[in-house]
Amino acid sequence: MLDPNWETVIGLEVHLQLATSSKIFSGSSTSFGGTPNSQTCSVDLAMPGALPVFNELALRYAVMFGLGIGAQINKTSIFDRKNYFYPDLPKGYQISQFHHPVVGRGTFELFFDDQDIYKIGITRAHLEEDAGKSVHGHFDGKSGIDLNRAGTPLLEIVTDPDFRSSEQVIYYLKALHLLVTYLGISDGNMAEGSMRCDVNISLRKKGDCNLGTRTEIKNINSFRFVERAISFEVNRQIDILEDGGKVIQETRLYDSELDETRPMRSKEIANDYRYFPEPDLLPIQISDDYISKIRDSMPELPLAKYRRFIETYDITKDDAEILLASKEIADYYEEVVATCADSKLSSNWVQTEMLAKLNKSNLCVSQSPISARQLGLLLSKIVDKTISGKIAKQVFAEAWSAEEDPLELIEKKELKQVDDFDKIHTIVQEVINKNTDQVKQYLAANDQKRKKLLGFFVGQVMQLSNGRANPKVVNQILNQKLSE
Ligand code: ADP
Ligand code: MG
The band of 390, judged by pLDDT with boundaries at 50, 70 and 90, is: confident
State the amino acid at position 465 in one-letter form.
Answer: S
Tally of helices (H runs) and strands (E runs) in the chain: 16, 15
Give CA–CA dist 39/388, Å, rounded.
57
Residue ranges with strand state E in 111-249:
118-129, 133-139, 142-146, 153-159, 195-205, 215-220
Helix (H) or strand (E) holding 10: strand 6-17
Provide the pLDDT for residue 453.
Answer: 85
CATH number corresponding to 421-482: 1.10.10.410
Mean pLDDT of 101-117: 81
Q: Which residues of 116-128 are buried (b: 16+ CB within 10 A; e: fewer)?
A: eebebebbbbbbb
Provide the pLDDT for residue 355.
Answer: 94
Q: Residue 463 C-alpha to ligand 2 middle, in angstroms?
A: 68
Provide the pLDDT for residue 288.
Answer: 98
Domain locations in the chain as residue ranges: 6-293, 300-412, 421-482
The band of 114, judged by pLDDT with boundaries at 50, 70 and 90, is: low
Q: Is residue 116 over pLDDT 70?
A: no
State the amino acid at position 35 in one-letter form.
Answer: T
Give CA–CA dist 43/197, Å, rounded.
27
The tens digit of pLDDT for each residue in 308-320 reads 999 999 999 899 9
Beta carbons within 10 angstroms of residue 16's beta carbon: 25
Strands 93-96 and 106-110: unpaired
CB 190 within 8 A of CB 222: yes
Cα 7–231–263 angle (5° rounding)?
A: 100
DSSP state of 440: H
CB 23 within 8 A of CB 151: yes
Q: Is residue 57 over pLDDT 80?
A: yes
Provide the pLDDT for residue 457.
Answer: 87
- 65-74, 157-166, 345-354, 444-453: lowest mean pLDDT where? 444-453
C-alpha 88: how far from its chain's center?
A: 31
From the number of C-beta atoms within 10 Å of its C-beta (0-12, 13-18, 19+), residue 13 rates as middle
Q: Which of 368, 363, 370 is nearest to 409 (CA)?
A: 370
Q: What's the chain's average pLDDT?
A: 91
* Ligand 1 atom closest to the CA of 13, numbered from 1: 14
* Ligand 1 atom closest to the CA of 212, numbered from 1: 23
The band of 7, judged by pLDDT with boundaries at 50, 70 and 90, is: very high
* Ligand 1 atom closest to the CA of 200, numbered from 1: 26
Q: Is residue 269 over pLDDT 60?
A: no
The band of 265, judged by pLDDT with boundaries at 50, 70 and 90, is: low
Bigger pLDDT: 278 vs 481: 278
**What is the number of the ligand closest to the CA of 201?**
1
Q: Residue 11 C-alpha to ligand 1 middle, in angstroms?
A: 6
Give pTM, 2 decimals: 0.83
Highest mean pLDDT among 68-77, 115-124, 468-477: 68-77
From residue 74, alpha-carbon distances to 59, 128, 158, 401, 433 in Å are 11, 16, 16, 53, 84
Query: Which residues have a Cβ under 8 Å from the Cβ of 98 and sit 6 or more positions away?
Result: 78, 80, 82, 126, 275
Helix (H) or strand (E) holding 6: strand 6-17
CB 76 within 8 A of CB 99: no
Give CA–CA dist 309/301, Å, rounded.
12
* Ligand 1 atom closest to the CA of 213, numbered from 1: 23
Cα 256–257–259 angle (5° rounding)?
A: 55
Provide the pLDDT for residue 270.
Answer: 58
State the amino acid at position 472 in one-letter form.
Answer: K
Q: Residue 295 C-alpha to ligand 1 middle, in angstroms?
A: 30
Which residues' Cβ are closer than 6 Å to ligand 1?
A: 9-13, 158-161, 200-202, 211-212, 214
Residue nearest ligand 1's atom 24 by CA: 202
Q: Residue 161 C-alpha to ligand 1 middle, in angstroms?
A: 7
Out of 13, 120, 234, mutate this one to test ligand 1's pocket (max ligand atoms within 8 Å of CB): namely 13
The tens digit of pLDDT for each residue in 212-241 reads 999 999 978 889 999 999 999 999 999 999
CB 153 within 8 A of CB 60: no
